[in-house]
Structure 1
């Protein structure tokens, strides 16, 4: 078994440990640490299952599978935290995941790939299309904050209304991006799909002799892994959320820093592994599509879903962000679009993206909100 498969398998030991820690009352700190560590391998398995199912089912259905399960870990944690009333942390996690996808995923990919290859190329149209969409999404998310903070007579009662209206537009735009990428202009994304299918075909042919019907068997296996991983992530998220407020107060972290930096770091480890692996294989089209696609999914789908679910369960969450969060998202989008617009990347580009994230992280750590 390869190391990349063995490590997530070993880390699964923290799942029963976290359950024991909660049941036997070993303390909130132990539950916090073990549940955090348990979420990491579960998110990796969930992400892997999503990728495998997407390859087996073909571009159209596979694209939808990736669209709805690509950020399942982040969505599950956010929903559990929202149900627990941790609205500030959930709201900050939206910002944090967008920053992580744009700066960390893309930065790690360009750095890792750049250390192996002098220069890498990818289709500029990928960053143009996704870059335009994420720019619109961030502008839309920023507008409620700008309206509220620039109007001295804005009625607080109208905040949910403007958030719901914005969320509705964002979901429509997300539907249009799916139509564009999966139907009308799917040829723009064919390189990544072909490369991934080649990998899958090689794996399938190597196991042909040991399984009577390898395709169906492997598909069912990954469907089961996807379902079990999702359930396990929900359970571990419940343990994590149950102690997170107490622990961040003990450590001295703000809800803003926890949502923007800590939670995305825990939930997006699978993404870090995926883009690094793809970049080292010089599959930069697929890498860029993954990084920018994840940020689009959060901004255009996850954030609106949280707004609607919050209204439904009586934990209203709006899009009135901290102004510094809006500024941070604008910085991330601007720097990412600037660096990736040429369709070429090197290790310095990756280092600059990661440095931008580190600077924003330091700022969020000292931000008093």
Structure 2
């Protein structure tokens, strides 16, 4: 049986239509609510379908203040919105939109501070509850990083393993662990998987930024994809590094006045768009492997809208894996022009 085409997705903010909001961002004094966020999400789904994008990362602030320790008036927000979550989840399934969360950097499961760990687990449990109430399949995951090193990397890694056993079942069922660019490499998350069984997310840019073990990319991708159940399609993250010269305003040590200085790029930074040649190279290295791709470019949905015609032009073999055909080339180019060439 022929496999379904691979999917391309983007996170949270829609740049092709700035009027679309990703969540209810009002302050607590205005009584923000998950139901308002779900109304915004419904409109985003319509935009995704219009542009044939079938993968999306929802805002981690979808349920505002739902786990704020000092605001109990918001704590029942998720359960009170069960019917609304079920409705939006049904729409996502009918439209074949793959959804996920990527909780904030404040979610740390390996902290030596037990209070921070408890708060992190609460946040994850709330987001897992939303995915369950939306009745989404096992492909809808919560993506996290290992956390901090805290002066002892081995101990920090072990704390994550120890915390795993304390997680509520819905969190363990939904959790996925990603390699990062500064602290915990693919080798580290593979080690954690060995002791926990947690699913793994391969991040291409992070792999290049942090691979002290000199792992082979193809072999590493295969091992990380194998951490997923055989009936669930894995996903990976892809972004290109920023390459442009940056200009920053700094205070001069000599004069005490502000001055503009040129600064070289930092390779952990994400580019606005995806370099199609880097993407093609990666996809050819991973030939024969099945996974959806979350693009973490700063231009969000516009990066997908630009990449699709680029793949058809430069790498038809890769384009075919995403279900793209030569007959779509002109339509994609018109779409790109309409969204990228409008006045700023």
Q: Structure with the greater relative contact order (CA < 8 A, sep ≥ 6): 1 or 2?
A: 1
**TM-score, scaled relative to structure 2:** 0.25
TM-score, L = length of structure 1: 0.24
Greater per-residue strand proportion: 2
